[in-house]
Amino acid sequence: MIEVKIGDISRLDVPVDAIVNAANSALIPGGGVDGALNRAAGPKLKQAMASIGGTPTGTAVITPAFELPANYVIHAVGPRYIDGKHKEEALLYSAYEAVYRLAHEYKLHTIAVPVLSAGIYGYPKEGAARILCEVADRRENQEITTQVIAFEESWLAIFDKIRQSDSK
């Protein structure tokens, strides 16, 4: 089940089992979602990320959530969008698939997810949202409640458009 909400993923009203971080491959805290989660979680999250030492684009790793309203943070690395001809779509699918593999492995029931790669990494918003929906809607992932947390209201129309085209 997918729910789309507008808000700050680092300040959820209701705790979830895991929050997905839009991480970089070095797992060094940056800006956007990554920076917000690290500020809210406290310095132990940065230390936990550093202890892993990095993860390639298209993968995900998991750490405790520390001061965040969750048990875990899943650090997923989406691709930087170049022109759509450099395996960006396959890498974005792979990143979301890695998130759900970890969710199954850790027996998670609720996850809060940003739309990976659609911010400073420049992935076209509708394409990034569609890939998230496709992976979340797979039969094996339907038992996991996915809360898509978007920062801007414009995302609501994008997800509505995807839902309408899927119901046809």
Distance from C-alpha of 157 to C-alpha of 125, rounded to nearest angstrom: 11
168 has a pLDDT exceeding 80: no
Cα angle for residues 35, 32, 11 (degrees, 5° grid): 70
Task: Show Cβ contacts of residue 26 under 8 Å, excluding neighbours closer than 6 positions.
Answer: 54
pLDDT at 167: 77
Which residues are catalytic, by number?
34
Burial 29-40 (b: 16+ CB within 10 A, else e): beeebbebbbeb
Going by the DSSP 8-state scheme, the letter that residue 107 receives in this structure is: T
Max intra-chain CA distance, the chain = 47
**Sequence ranges of the domains in the chain:** 2-166
Q: State pLDDT tens for residues 108-165.
A: 999 999 999 999 999 999 999 999 999 999 999 999 999 999 999 999 999 999 999 8
Q: State pLDDT tens for residues 42-90.
A: 999 999 999 999 999 999 999 999 999 999 999 999 999 999 999 999 9
Class of 2-166 per CATH? Answer: alpha beta
Distance from C-alpha of 91 to C-alpha of 109, rounded to nearest angstrom: 24
